[in-house]
Amino acid sequence: MLKVESSKPLHCVEMVTGRNLTGNILLSEESICAHIYSYTESFYIDGEKPIFLQAETNEIVSLHSNFTTGPGTIWRGIEPLRTTYRQEIISNLAVVGFDPWTAEDKVKRVTFSVKHTKELMRHKEKFGAVGRERFPREGELTIFTDVAEGITVKSWYAATYGMDFDAPKELWPVFEIEFDEPRSIMNYIVSVSDFVGFLSFCLGVQLKPSAIRIDRFSFGEMTAAITSQSYPGNHEVHYVWPESQVDTQSLWIGGSPVRAWDDEELKALRECIVAWMNRAGQWRKPYRLMMESLGLKNVVSAERLINACRWFEDIPLSKTQNALSDEEIESISAAAAKKADEFGISPVIRERIASAIRRVKSESAEQRFTRLVAMVEGKFGKGILDENAIAHLRRAIQFRGRTAHGHFNPESDAEFRAFSKSTRAMEALCYLLTAVDLPISDAGKQRTGANPIVQDYRMCYE
C-alpha cells in the first residue's frame, strides 16, 4: 500500500542531479510543489524533463508537466556567512509508486473512483449479495465488463470490512479502463475524462475521478504476476484538480437516463456507456463544454451563456441544414438575374443580389431550433421542454450577441430573469441533443425530463 498522504508535506531526496539534494514535497488538489535545498553550492533542476524524488515513506514521486523557478538563495550577510540554495518545482501531475514513472512508460490499465455514483451503480441483487455474504463471488462483485473502441471498460464493487469481517462496512463502485494500445501518461486521462463525463451526464452534476491508479500491466498480466508473486504493484496519480462542490439535494437518481438498479436497467446503462465512449473522438469537445456548463450551474453570467452556446454549436447533431436545395437556389438566382437585367441593374448589384439569395439557402435560427426541438420531443416526448422553448432559444442567441465581450448588465429584474431562462433553455436543449442518439430505454426516456439540467430550465421563473 502506498503511504504518501495528500496535503501532508513529506521530506524527500531528489534523484536527478546525482547529488542527493533534500527538500520537501506536497501533493494536494490545489497544488503539487516541491522545494529542494543545498547548503554547499548552487544547483539547477531542469523542469522540462520528469523529476524523480524519493519520499521519506520510500515511495518514488515522479513529477511531470513541471514549471521550475530559477535558482534562489537565502543568505546571511554577516559573520559567520551562510548561504542556502533553493529551487521550487511546481507540477500539474505526480505519479507515486515503487519506481519512477518515466516519460516513456505507458499506461495499460487505469482504475478510479467517482464520488456520488454509489446509488447510480447500486444493482439491487449484486449489492445485496455482496452486503450479505462474507466471501462474495466474482459475478456478484462485478457490475459490468464491456468493450468499446480501443478499450475495455469495467466496474465492480469495492468494500471495507470491520474486525468481525462478517459483512462490509461500506461498498462503493470502482471503474476501470484497459487500453488495447497502451497510452502515455499525458494521453490516458482523456478516456478517463470521457467516462467521468458520462457519469456527470447521468446525474446532471460535475464530477471528477479520485483514487486514480495506473498500471503497466493489463488485468490478465496482473493476475498472472500475482499468482507467481512477481507483481510489483501499480502507481497512484495526483492532479491539481480541485473538486466542485456538489449539492447533494441535486443527486436524485430519478433524473438519470440510465442506472444499474436491475438487469434490464443495467443492460441499457452498458449500451449507453459503449455508445458514449465509441463516439468520444467526434464528441470530445461537446463533452468538455458540457462539463464546463455543469461547473457553472450555480451562477448566472455571460460566461455561462457563452459556454452553453459554444456547446450547442459543437454538437454534431446541431449543425445548420439547408432550407433550400441547390437547384432551388439556382432557379431563384436565375429569375432574379433576369429581372435585374429588365430593370437595367448594374452587374455589381446583380452579384450582390445573387449572394444574398445564396445566404437564404441555410435555415434560419427559428427553423433550426424548431427542427431540433422536434427531434428531442420525438425521442423523449412532447413537453420535455417548455412550450415557449423556441422563443427562449432565439433570445439566448440575441443575449449572446450582447455578451460577446464577456459581460452582461441587465437593465431590469425582468431582463435578468429572461437572461437566466434563456441560458437554461440552451443548456437543456444541448443536454437532450447529447442524449438523443444514445440507446436509452423507455423507462430512461421517462426519467430524462427530471434530470437537473432539464428541470432547472422548466422550473426557472421568468
The model's pTM: 0.88
Contact 399, 439 (CB under 8 A): no
CA distances from 323 to 357, 366, 395 (A): 12, 12, 21
Kindly compute the dihedral angle of the four CA atoms of residues 100, 102, 107, 111, in this order, to the nearest 10 degrees: 40
CA distances from 184 to 181, 191, 458 (A): 10, 12, 43
The three grid cell numbers given for residue 232, joined into one nine-digit string: 510489483
The pLDDT tens digits of the residues spanning 326-341 come to 676 677 667 777 777 7
Contacting residues for 212 by C-beta, under 8 A, at least 6 apart:
110, 111, 112, 192, 236, 237, 239
Is the pLDDT confidence value at 278 over 70? yes
pLDDT at residue 82 in the model: 87
Helices (H) and strands (E) in the chain, counts: 14, 13
pLDDT at residue 335 in the model: 76
The pLDDT tens digits of the residues spanning 288-315 come to 999 999 999 989 999 999 999 999 999 9
pLDDT at residue 76 in the model: 77
Contact 372, 433 (CB under 8 A): yes
Contact 180, 173 (CB under 8 A): no
Looking at residues 116-132, what average pLDDT do you find?
88
First-residue to last-residue Cα distance in the chain:
55
pLDDT at residue 212 in the model: 96
| 58-62, 65-69, 93-97: segment of lowest average pLDDT | 65-69
Contact 108, 222 (CB under 8 A): no
Q: What Rg do the C-alpha atoms of the chain give, in angstroms?
A: 28
Is the pLDDT confidence value at 3 over 70? no
The three grid cell numbers given for residue 372, joined into one nine-digit string: 431540433
pLDDT at residue 129 in the model: 84
CA distances from 327 to 322, 334, 350, 354, 359 (A): 12, 11, 19, 14, 14
Question: Phi/psi of residue 245, each to 5°?
Answer: -70, 130
pLDDT at residue 165 in the model: 60
Is the pLDDT confidence value at 218 over 90? yes
Measured distance CA(376)–CA(430) in Å, rounded = 10
What does the domain layout of the chain look like in residue ranges? 10-97, 106-278, 284-320+363-459, 326-359
The pLDDT tens digits of the residues spanning 363-408 come to 788 999 999 999 999 999 999 999 999 999 999 999 998 887 767 7
Looking at residues 85-99, what average pLDDT do you find?
95
Q: Which residue has the cell 429588365?
A: 342
| SS3 call for 83 | strand
Which pLDDT band holds residue 248 (cuts at 50, 70, 90)? confident
Looking at residues 229-236, what average pLDDT do you find?
93
Which pLDDT band holds residue 360 (cuts at 50, 70, 90)? low
Is the pLDDT confidence value at 431 over 90? yes
CA distances from 209 to 10, 97, 243, 431 (A): 24, 19, 9, 21
If one compares 320 and 390, the residue with the highest pLDDT of the two is 390
Is the pLDDT confidence value at 324 over 70? no
CA angle 32/33/38 to nearest 5° reads 160
The pLDDT tens digits of the residues spanning 15-58 come to 999 999 999 999 988 899 999 999 999 999 999 999 999 999 99
Q: What percent of the chain has pLDDT over 90?
A: 70
CA angle 90/93/96 to nearest 5° reads 110
- C-alpha 57 chain-centroid distance: 32
- C-alpha 267 chain-centroid distance: 23
What's the length of the chain?
Answer: 462
Q: Across all residues in the chain, what is the average pLDDT?
A: 89
Q: What is the 3-state secondary structure (H, E, C) of 224-269?
A: HHHHCCCCCCCEEEEECCCCCCCCHHHCCHHHCCCCCCCHHHHHHH
Contacts 24+ apart (CB under 8 A), 344-352: none
pLDDT at residue 252 in the model: 82
Which pLDDT band holds residue 92 (cuts at 50, 70, 90)? very high
Measured distance CA(240)–CA(460) in Å, rounded = 34
Measured distance CA(222)–CA(343) in Å, rounded = 83
Per-residue buried b or exposed e for 172-204, using 16+ beta carbons within 10 Å of the residue's own CB? bbbbbbbbeebbebeebbebbbbbbbbbbbbbb
Q: Which residue has the cell 450582390?
A: 352
Contacting residues for 133 by C-beta, under 8 A, at least 6 apart:
140
